Amino acid sequence: MTQEEVFGKVKEILQKYSKAGLADADIKMETSILDDLKVNSARLVDIVLDFEDAFDIEVEDDDADKVRTVGDGVNLILAKL
């Protein structure tokens, strides 16, 4: 799976939880999940669980704690694939 494919799927997952109402095109690798997408930290756990299901990976708590930007999520997934 390419970085572009992972990025697209990550954006789909994030759109379900975002309260910011950003357009798909406005979500970049450097977009902050908590600040820019207005996702609270409790929902971040749900996002990581969705990553695990969508990509059939297992994310340890320490790794999940490092996910702050969209790019962090994409890179974590790519490392686990």
Given this model, what pLDDT does residue 72 score? 98
Q: What is the CATH number of the domain that holds 48?
A: 1.10.1200.10
Given this model, what pLDDT does residue 43 score? 94
Taking only the tens of pLDDT, the chain with its 81 residues reads 999 999 999 999 999 999 888 888 899 999 999 999 999 989 999 999 999 999 999 999 999 999 999 999 999 999 999
pTM for this entry: 0.93
Q: For residue 33, what are the domain limits? A: 3-80
Percentage helix, strand, coil, to 5, in the chain?
60, 0, 40
- Total domains present in the chain: 1
